[in-house]
Amino acid sequence: MIKHYDPVSPETHKEIKMGQDPLMGGDFWTGTRRKVNADIAELYTDVAARSTLPAVATYAASQVLTAAQCYNTTVFVTAVATITLPAVAVGMSLDITQVGAFVMTIDPDTTQIIILNGTALAGGVTIVSDAATGETVKLVYHSAGTWYATSATLDAGA
């Protein structure tokens, strides 16, 4: 047994066993182990949800993507289409490739910003292909409300 000095009430002294949590009561090590195990389980669940093989989708018409469709995803667009993006969130990453000679438009959520090849576009401004086959854009989370896009051929739209 050791004496524990209580900083809140200095006149109160308690005898505690080694390993006992003097402030919370109970066994300090068991409580800590439970908390660590819960944190590890939550981490594994989060990693498993985001570290799957890339999803591949093909669209021949306009498509409104959900948040779940924007994690590690490859999208092929095979006809004139507008791909509407959800609000960007941490970890989102997708590649969109145009398969054919037609105009493809990428439309962010109305308040979201796309930084295209280092240039920030106004909120809600689209990016558009110039109708050449094989145009590709990579979109990734940059910061709250902002997608970062890299493309050699897509330009700002309206």
Does one domain contain both 31 and 63?
A: no
Does one domain contain both 16 and 31?
A: yes
Residue 146 domain boundaries:
55-156
In 22-149, alpha helices (H)? 28-50
Does one domain contain both 69 and 22?
A: no
Does one domain contain both 105 and 28?
A: no
pTM exceeding the 0.95 threshold for the entire prediction: no
Buried b (16+ CB within 10 A) or exposed e, 89-111: eeebbbbbbbebebebbbbbeee
Output the CA torsion 118→119→125→126 (10° steps): -50
Does one domain contain both 17 and 66?
A: no
CATH code of the domain covering residue 60 = 2.60.120
> What pLDDT sits at residue 115?
92
Specify the number of domains making up the chain. Answer: 2
Does one domain contain both 37 and 68?
A: no
Does one domain contain both 102 and 151?
A: yes
Does one domain contain both 31 and 67?
A: no
> What pLDDT sits at residue 31?
56
Does one domain contain both 122 and 90?
A: yes
Final residue belonging to a domain, choices 50, 65, 80: 50
Does one domain contain both 86 and 144?
A: yes
The SS3 assignment for 125 reads: coil
Does one domain contain both 84 and 116?
A: yes
> What pLDDT sits at residue 1?
46
pLDDT in tens, the chain (158 residues): 455 555 555 555 555 555 555 555 555 555 556 666 666 666 666 555 555 556 888 999 999 999 999 999 999 999 999 999 999 999 999 999 999 999 999 999 888 999 998 899 988 898 888 888 888 899 999 989 999 998 877 777 76
